[in-house]
A and B are shown apart, each in its own frame.
Chain A
Amino acid sequence: MSTQSYQVIGTRPIRHDGVDKVTGRALYGADIQMAGLLHGAILRSPHAHARIRSINTSKAEALAGVKAVVTAADFPPTGDRIVDLGEGETPLSYIRGNILASGKVLYRGHAVAAVAATSPHIAAEAASLIEVEYEPLPCVLTAPEAMRPGAPLLHEDLKTKEFGQQTDRVSNIAEHFRHSLGDLEKGFAEADIVLEREFHTATVHQGYIEPHNATALWNNDGRLLIWCSTQGAFVVRDTTACILDLPVSQVKVTPMEIGGGFGGKIPVYLEPVAALLSKKTGRPVKIVMSRKEVFEGTGPTPGSFIRIKIGAKRDGRFTAAQADLAYEAGAYPGAMVGAGAMTVFAAYDIPNVTIDGYDVVVNKPSTAAYRAPGATNAAFATETVVDEIAEHLGLDPLDLRLKNAAKEGTRRADGLKYRRIGCVEVLEAMKAHPHYRAPLEGANRGRGVAIGYWFNAGLPSSCTISVNADGSVTLVEGSTDIGGTRTSVAMQAAEVLGIPAGSVHPVVVDTDSVGFTAVTGGSRTTFATGWAAYEAAQDVLRQMKERAAKLWGLEPSAVRFEGGHFRASGHEISFAELAARLAETGGPVVGRATVNPRGVGGSFAGCIVDVEVDPETGKTSILRFTSIQDAGRAIHPSYVEGQMQGGSVQGIGWALNEEYFMGPDGEMRNSSLLDYRMPTALDLPMIDTQIVEVPNPGHPFGVRGVGEANIVPPPAAIANAIYRAVGVRMRRLPMSPPNLMQELWKKS
């Protein structure tokens, strides 16, 4: 496959939705206008933990322009049950509870009530007139605090689960699991050096620029219509239907253009609320979050406490490794600790491993996925310990990693064995990169490296392709396009059909108009929806061969398709020519496919970073940055590079500045984009990229998916670079000026 030459794959066409996005014509969720539109606003809890004694909405209802007020009491009266809405099985009460609190509020920013009014200003004013009487309760904000016996409990009925078994321990630990491989004690006994270190990482937000939004119209025919910004229209449909106790077919979700998601736009927050308001008013209702609501009321990624212990022989060979991972789920169970456990030692072949994971609820917003969720925290810990081992043993940090690198056949502690992976190839590309050997001179400067892994996802995707008489095709898909996937999907169809990428017109449609398609997430869209497009294109070819055969009076099996032409002995017709003759050979051709693919291929990414630390202020500047990642096959290299650059920079922000500054009362003190400091253009150099291609044998074109692994290594690489620059080991994220100064003062 790697020797095959492609016509479309690997080229860099202009994206199909590009012109609309540079002219301002593309319609995002907040851009919806419609006759009779009302505007919603949400009242949120000022307490991190409190019992709701009463809610009085009468003053709000009396304000001119207010059309409706809703609370959790407006949800249908169906009892609690376990549901699976694409996020694992969860009590319905948790899902509803996060959308509108009932009984208790569990974090500051927890939605309590909502208003619909004739303007956003009136709605906001009315929300502030709702009177809620709270009984404040003590709160817990970090995993170690929440795990302590006697800690205030968020859910009085939450019992720790241990591999399917409900224990009778009531606590904030929702789940504990363990992976183990080999004999840990024996492994550590064999080691010449054993290092054990503890790490803390702060809660950070995905930081997409477009706030969440939703517009709902409970139509007079009883159908609920929704327009919103989401990574998965079907997840919104299924979740909203479940919460409102409707059959899924009664809900139609139209995904608008989406202004970034990174995992944070998978959960549903606003849609059921807008729906309830529309039901009460008979009018469409639009709700758009403010930036403060995005920070306080949506899911950031978990803060964590991690303990790592690694043993190695003098020659560098790892003999044993142990990890304890305690991740903060926020208000409801479901931290990304399972993924943390699967990735914490994923880059290495280690014979004896034990990993313990704890999913811990705390009084912070219910966490959501963030680009390789759980993996960045874990790699920060592992990769800095690996760096320290290299230093102690006097080994080159990349040589040490290569010596222990995971390969095809390596068994991870969670039990799974790798198929073909590109860990070694990425490490070798790092070693060979001119950046790694370039001189780095000057005081307080240092270079660091690290590697990270993300396993990627498969999941269902659907696609149809209709052939137009002019030789172009229309491709209908259900994957919202966050970063150019219309094009990376269309290119795979174009490759099969032997036509230019520009002759495929991709459209992303509503849930009535395409088969079920899972979320744009898990780096799965180019892999899985691309695969659906590949299959649908094959279906088109099969039908077109029949048409050619009909024209020539042959059996379809006698027709070949090569180089964009249908051929049989003595006959030849191009795709476009045949497309023009469909009417006379039997009518339209529509290819279709649904896939639920296996063969998902994980991706490794590494980075090399040079930093300079200002020892007076503790500020770290990035001087040079190189990101190297295994794409399997880069369908559109520009957008692969774009993923690598974007993920790297999110990793840099996570490393150096970003954090929820929480007061002891659970209030986020920096809930604006001024104070939650994401990297700007001025904070960064160019981000160099090198795409490694170790084709995934599980995909027709070798695609792995590149959206995530790139965010994993930067915090560790930067920590390692800081150590070489100023001699302190940073074990707390972010490595912000105050945190770094503290370490520098300790050292001196």
Chain B
Amino acid sequence: MQKKMHVTATINGEVQEFLCEPRQSLLECLRDILHLTGTKEGCNDGNCGSCTVLMDGRLVTSCLVLGPEASGAEIVTVEGLARGRELHPLQKAFLEQAALQCGVCTPGFLVAAKALLDREPQPSEQRIRWWLANNLCRCTGYDKIVRAVQQAAAELAATQGGMNRL
């Protein structure tokens, strides 16, 4: 057994400390140590996007980040999108547009789409497709996912102060 390392990171706005083996990925730390199982594993090699989280504002596939690398970082996972009982406009739009079937890809898509709308509040359809191209969904054919992102973008633009909320 490898010697464990002590890691401190801000996860969904809360400072968290945990012990992990150096070989454990951030994905394993989130799921197995912190029990944040909303972030999913589909491939463990960076090719499906199910494990997508925000790390210091950047999109990363958490299966390709080692746990200790998260030291001092700010991490946002799907569990951090809603504010209390209020869903994020993307979450609402995914529900209204029926943008999920099995739902296992959904956490990754939500986090990736949030990163896009944080940067570009009014992306074109092509831009959305480009941005989400690292997230695989096998159930929906993407149509309703793209529409949900468009709906959330429109809603955020329409809501006063929408951008602050993100």
Report which A residues bind B (CB closer than 8 A).
12, 14-15, 17-19, 21-28, 30-31, 33, 64-65, 119-122, 206-211, 257-262, 288, 290-291, 482-484, 638-639, 641-643, 645-650, 672-674, 678-682, 684, 686-687
Q: Which of A15, A64, A122 counts the most chain B CB atoms within 10 A?
A: A15
A residues within 8 A CB of B97? Answer: 638
Which A residues touch B48, using CB under 8 A?
Answer: 209, 291, 673
Residues A209 and B137 in contact in the complex (CB < 8 Å), given A30-B41, A681-B145: yes
Please give, as numbers and ranges, the residues of chain B lying within 8 Å of A33 by CB-CB distance: 32, 35, 37
A18 / chain B contacts, CB cutoff of 8 Å: 94-95, 100
Chain A residues whose C-beta falls within 8 Å of the C-beta of B79 in the assembled complex: 23-25
Q: How far is the CB of B79 from chain A (nearest CB, A)?
A: 5
Kindly state whether residue B87 has any CB partner on chain A within 8 Å: yes
- Contact (A121, B21) CB under 8 Å given A22-B106, A680-B133: yes
In the bound complex, what is the Cα–Cα distance between A258 and B98 (angstroms)? 17
Task: Determine which of B44, B101, B106, B135 lies in contact with A646 in the assembled complex, contact meaning CB atoms within 8 Å.
Answer: B101
Can you offer 30 A-B residue contacts whose CB atoms are under 8 A? A18-B94, A19-B95, A21-B100, A23-B82, A24-B38, A25-B38, A30-B41, A31-B37, A33-B37, A65-B1, A119-B1, A119-B21, A121-B23, A208-B102, A209-B42, A259-B40, A259-B104, A288-B41, A290-B44, A291-B47, A641-B98, A642-B98, A642-B140, A642-B144, A646-B141, A647-B141, A649-B140, A672-B47, A674-B46, A686-B125
B62 within 8 A of A: no
Could you tell me if B140 and A646 are in contact, using CB atoms closer than 8 angstroms? yes
Query: Smallest CB-CB separation from A257: which chain B residue?
Result: B103
Q: Which of A260, A641, A674 contacts B138 (CB 8 A)?
A: A260
Q: Do residues B43 and A484 form an inter-chain contact, with CB atoms below 8 A?
A: no
B161 smallest CB distance to A (angstroms):
22
Chain A residues positioned under 8 Å from B77 (CB to CB): 24
Q: Within B94-133, which residues are at the interface with A (CB < 8 Å)?
A: 94-98, 100-107, 110, 125, 128-130, 132-133
How far, in angstroms, from A678 to B105 measured CA to CA in the complex?
14
A648 to chain B, nearest CB (A): 6
Leading 10 A-B pairs by shortest Cβ distance: A24-B38, A259-B104, A649-B141, A21-B103, A645-B141, A483-B101, A638-B98, A31-B37, A673-B47, A24-B78
Taking CB atoms, residues of chain A closer than 8 Å to B110 are: 22
Q: Is residue B29 contacting chain A, with contact meaning CB distance below 8 A?
A: no
Which residues of the partner chain A approach B132 to less than 8 Å between Cβ atoms?
680-682
Residue among B37, B128, B133 making CB contact with A27, cutoff 8 Å: B37
Q: Within 8 Å CB of B47, what residues of A?
A: 291, 672-674
Q: Which residues of B contact A678 (CB under 8 A)?
A: 136, 138
Smallest beta-carbon distance A262→chain B, Å = 7
A170 to chain B, nearest CB (A): 40
Known: A208-B138, A673-B42. 4 other contacts (CB 8 A): A18-B95, A22-B91, A65-B1, A641-B143
Q: How far is the CB of B86 from chain A (nearest CB, A)?
A: 11
> What are the residues of chain B within 8 A of A210 when measuring CB–CB?
40, 42, 102, 104
Chain A residues within an 8 Å CB radius of B143: 641, 645, 684, 686-687
| Closest residue on chain B to residue A674 by CB atoms | B47
Contacts of A649 in B (CB 8 A): 140-142
Which residues of chain A are within 8 angstroms of B166 by Cβ–Cβ distance? Answer: none
Complex Cα spacing A672 to B103, Å = 21
Q: Identify the B interface with A (CB < 8 A).
A: 1, 21, 23-24, 28, 31-32, 35-48, 50, 77-79, 81-82, 87, 91, 94-98, 100-107, 110, 125, 128-130, 132-147
Residues of A within 8 A of B40 (CB): 28, 30, 209-210, 259
Contacts of A209 in B (CB 8 A): 40, 42, 48, 50, 102, 104-105, 136-138
Nearest chain B CB to A669's CB is how many angstroms away?
A: 16
Q: How far is the CB of B135 from chain A (nearest CB, A)?
A: 7
Residues of B within 8 A of A291 (CB): 42-45, 47-48
Which chain A positions have C-beta within 8 A of B140? 642, 645-646, 649
Task: Please indicate the chain B residues that have their CB under 8 angstroms from the CB of A15 in the complex.
Answer: 95, 98
- Distance in angstroms from A640 CB to nearest chain B CB is 10
Interface centre among A120, A258, A259, A260, by most B CB within 10 Å?
Answer: A259
Cβ–Cβ contact A484 & B98, under 8 A: yes
Q: In the bound complex, what is the Cα–Cα distance between A209 and B125 (angstroms)?
A: 24
In the complex formed, the residue of B with least CB distance to A12 is B98
A290 to B44, CA, bound (A): 7
The minimal Cβ–Cβ distance linking A686 to chain B, given in whole angstroms, is 5
CB atoms of A687 and B81 under 8 A apart: no
A681 adjacent to B135 (CB under 8 Å)? yes
With known contacts A24-B78, A210-B42, A645-B144, A682–B133 Cβ distance under 8 A? yes
Q: A24–B133 contact, CB under 8 A?
A: no
Query: Roughly how many angstroms separate A22 CA and B134 CA in the complex, as a whole number?
Result: 19
Q: Report Cα–Cα, A18/B44, bound state, in Å.
A: 26
Contact of B87 among A22, A30, A646 (CB under 8 A): A22
Bound CA span A308–B47, Å:
38
Chain B residues whose C-beta falls within 8 Å of the C-beta of A17 in the assembled complex: 103
Smallest Cβ-Cβ distance to A261: which chain B residue:
B102
Residue of A nearest to B134 (CB): A680
In the assembled complex, the Cα of A28 lies from the Cα of B31 at a distance in Å of: 12
Contacting residues, chain B, for A25 (C-beta < 8 A): 38, 79
- A647 vs B105: C-alpha distance in the bound complex, in angstroms? 17
Q: Do residues A684 and B142 form an inter-chain contact, with CB atoms below 8 A?
A: yes
How far apart sit A482 and B105, CA to CA, in the bound complex (Å)?
12
Tell me whether A681 and B36 are in contact (CB under 8 A). Answer: no
Which chain B residues lie closer than 8 Å to A21 at the CB level? Answer: 100, 103, 106
- Select one of A22, A24, A65, A288 contacting B37, CB under 8 A: A24
CB pair B133–A681 under 8 Å, yes or no, is yes
* A24-B107 contact, Cβ under 8 Å, with A64-B1, A258-B102, A681-B142: yes
CB–CB A681/B146 < 8 A:
yes
Q: How far is the CB of B153 from chain A (nearest CB, A)?
A: 15
The answer to whether B38 touches A260, judged by C-beta atoms less than 8 angstroms apart, is no
In the complex, the answer to whether B87 meets A650 with C-beta atoms within 8 Å is: no
A14 pairs with B138, CB closer than 8 A: no
| Cα-based distance from A22 to B31 in the complex (angstroms) | 17
* Cα distance A647–B139 in the bound complex, in angstroms: 8
- The residue from B78, B102, B141, B142 contacting A259, defined by CB atoms under 8 A apart: B102
Assess the B96–A14 pair: CB atoms within 8 A: yes
CA distance A242 to B70 in the complex (A): 47
Give Cα A181 to B141, complex, Å.
Answer: 39
Q: When A672-B47, A673-B43, A682-B130 are in contact, do A22 and B100 touch as well, CB less than 8 Å?
A: yes
Query: How close is A300's CB to chain B, nearest CB, in angstroms?
Result: 14
Q: How far is the CA of A261 from the CA of B104 in the complex (A)?
A: 11
Whole-angstrom distance from the CB of B147 to the nearest CB of chain A? Answer: 8
CB distance from B16 to the nearest CB of A (A): 16
Residues of A within 8 A of B144 (CB): 638, 641-642, 645
B145 — nearest CB in chain A belongs to which residue?
Answer: A681
The docked-state distance in angstroms from the alpha carbon of A12 to that of B96 is 9
| Inter-chain contact A672/B95, CB cutoff 8 Å | no
Task: Name, among A24, A206, A646, the residue most crowded by chain B CB atoms within 10 Å (CB to CB).
Answer: A24
Among residues of A, the one whose C-beta sits closest to the C-beta of B105 is A209
A31 touches B31 (CB 8 A): yes
Given known contacts A28-B40, A672-B47, A646 and B138 CB-to-CB distance under 8 angstroms: yes
